[in-house]
Amino acid sequence: AQTVTQSQPEMSVQEAETVTLSCTYDTSENNYYLFWYKQPPSRQMILVIRQEAYKQQNATENRFSVNFQKAAKSFSLKISDSQLGDTAMYFCAFIEYSGAGSYQLTFGKGTKLSVIP
Amino acid sequence: DGGITQSPKYLFRKEGQNVTLSCEQNLNHDAMYWYRQDPGQGLRLIYYSQIVNDFQKGDIAEGYSVSREKKESFPLTVTSAQKNPTAFYLCASSIGRGNTIYFGEGSWLTVV
């Protein structure tokens, strides 16, 4: 069974500083996709960034970037120039595909990030 | 605007009652999902559907039922067989394989 591990239950960062959230996963498949989702206090799940496993280049979206290490099964999220609005729960997730053609999204337990003014 | 609409936002249920949570999407997505979120937990998959009139159980399907009669709609019924139904429920959808999953705003269910 696929698993996603986020080893940091809580983190904090000063406004304008950089923070990295870690994520490791376990899969026997070669074809999968990785995601980071943000869940602010409103509880809305918002996509932050997406990475295809077959791509070696790390994905970047404005202040958000990932460090994807496929061999190590690691997928960390770096937030640069942290802003107060970045305060939220962050979930790492991935989709893998079974031989039967089915797929499902598996989530880690989340990291609570607090940005301090 | 395109999106996923869940209703109601807040629902209170007496023990022994069935309740149905609505999920409607106008994104023309083929796949739809229901997740449950408890404090300190990530999201756990209840049911998912890849096409109309077909759905599969997720990791925690016991005590829940779904239907997919229309592409746009994927209602979730929480039955009295669900022993601990108080939770936050998220509906989601995606175009299909490998595509990003988008979420509704969620529904809070409380058993009183």
Percent of chain A residues past pLDDT 90, beyond the cut? 72
Average pLDDT score over residue span A31-51? 92
Q: Residue B14: pLDDT above 70?
A: yes
SS3 state at A67: strand
**pLDDT for res B99:** 75
Interface probe, candidates A31, A104, A112, chain B, greatest B C-beta count within 10 A? A104
Q: Residues A65-110: pLDDT tens digits?
A: 999 999 999 999 999 999 999 999 999 998 877 655 566 778 999 9
Which residues of chain A make contact with B42, given a CB cutoff of 8 A?
4, 91, 107-110
Mean residue pLDDT of chain A comes to 91
Average pLDDT score over residue span B47-57? 91
Per-residue CA distances from A83 to A35, A38, A79, A91, B59 (Å): 21, 14, 9, 18, 36
Percent of chain B residues past pLDDT 70, beyond the cut? 96
**pLDDT for res A103:** 66
**pLDDT for res A106:** 86
Nearest by CB to A91, which of B42, B48, B88?
Answer: B42
Q: Residues B86-108: pLDDT tens digits?
A: 999 999 998 876 678 899 999 99
Select the more confidently predicted residue: A13 or A30.
A13
Beta-carbon contacts of residue B67 (< 8 Å; ≥ 6 apart): B55, B74, B75
Average pLDDT score over residue span B56-70? 94
Average pLDDT score over residue span B40-51? 88
Average pLDDT score over residue span B62-68? 97
Please choose, from the candidates A4, A39, A93, the residue with its C-alpha nearest in 3D space to the C-alpha of residue B90: A39
Q: Residue B19: pLDDT above 60?
A: yes
CB contacts under 8 A, B 13-42 vs A, are 33, 40-42
Give the distance from residue B105's alpha carbon to the nearest chain A alpha carbon, in angstroms: 5
CA B104, CA B8: separation in Å to the nearest integer? 12
Please choose, from the candidates B99, B50, B101, the residue with its C-alpha nearest in 3D space to the C-alpha of residue B71: B50
CA A36, CA A95: separation in Å to the nearest integer? 12
Q: Residue B46: pLDDT above 70?
A: yes
- List the single residue in B with minimal CA-CA distance to A112: B40
**pLDDT for res B42:** 83
- Encoded tokens for A62: 């404005």
Is the omega angle on the peptide bond into residue B8 within 30 degrees of 0, that is, cis? Answer: yes
**pLDDT for res B83:** 85
Strand partners, A65: A60, A78
- List the single residue in A with minimal CA-CA distance to B97: A103
**pLDDT for res A94:** 87
Select the more confidently predicted residue: A17 or B100.
A17
Please choose, from the candidates B43, B19, B5, the residue with its C-alpha nearest in 3D space to the C-alpha of residue B109: B19
Nearest by CB to A33, which of B41, B42, B98?
Answer: B98
Which residues of chain B make contact with A109, given a CB cutoff of 8 A?
40-42
Interface probe, candidates A91, A103, A111, A112, chain B, greatest B C-beta count within 10 A? A103
pLDDT band at A4 (very low <50, low <70, confident <90, very high): very high
Please choose, from the candidates B90, B84, B21, B32, the residue with its C-alpha nearest in 3D space to the C-alpha of residue B56: B32
Average pLDDT score over residue span B53-82? 94
SS3 state at A35: strand
- Encoded tokens for A103: 């797929």
